[in-house]
Amino acid sequence: RDGIALANTRFAALVAQEPQFAPGIARLAVSYNLLAQFDLMPAGQAYARAVTLAERALDLEPRLPLALAARGFARFYGARDIAGAMAD
């Protein structure tokens, strides 16, 4: 649990320094998915942030696999959007 929170903090710092680095943004999105999965942040809030970040990464690199996976995960578990998750 501590590692997930630390990863989130470090990826957020990375994104603050390098706001156009799509892989870092995607990793921050993944960390929000994990915060939700391990009940370290309210699921609705964490999944919404994950989707927003994944889409930001995809705006920079439209086929970035980690961003697609992060968005699909958040869509599936957060919004129960199975079709959207499968499309990602």
Which residues, in sequence order, are CB contacts of 86 under 8 Å at separation 6+? 72
The answer to whether the pTM exceeds 0.75 is yes
31-56 pLDDT, tens digit each = 999 999 999 999 999 999 999 999 99
Distances from the Cα of 22 to the Cαs of 25, 44, 67, in angstroms? 5, 23, 8
15-32 pLDDT, tens digit each = 999 999 999 999 999 999
| Residue 1 scores a pLDDT above 90 | no
Tokens, residue 52: 């927003």
State the distance between the two ends of the chain, measured CA to CA, in whole angstroms: 27
H/E run at residue 10: helix 2-17
